[in-house]
Amino acid sequence: MAASVGPSAAAPKGEQLGFYRGEGPYPVPAAITTAQMNEVREGFVTAALHGQQAGFDGVEIHGANGYLLDQFLTDYLNQRDDHYGGSPKNRARFAAEICQDVQQAVGPA
């Protein structure tokens, strides 16, 4: 996967924080491809399976604070014109698919 991808080629607002070793405006990420989205889904599933194998009772799918899933939900960052962009339902689709994939892999709660 590229060093920096987002739902669309749109930079986050504001500037990077020096506290996190950033400086200046955020770079414009590459728009994530469908193949890369499949890799992300597989990564969430693999992590959940590893947690289950380690004996954890549950996992948290983090989708806040500017991370990729949050970017899909954010209208100014998600400028896609496919079924992952536009309406709130479409912008939530990627996160919902990941949740479904994880639940299918690890079984019911």
**CA gap 25, 13 in Å, rounded:** 8
**Burial level of 78, CB count in 10 A (0-12/13-18/19+)?**
buried
Q: What is the DSSP string of 27-59?
A: PPPEEPPHHHHHHHHHHHHHHHHHHHHTT-S--
Active-site annotation holds for 20: no
Backbone angles phi, psi at 86, to 5 degrees: 95, -105
**CA gap 53, 51 in Å, rounded:** 5
Which of 20, 26, 67, 84 does the annotation list as catalytic?
67
Instruction: Give catalytic residue positions.
Output: 67
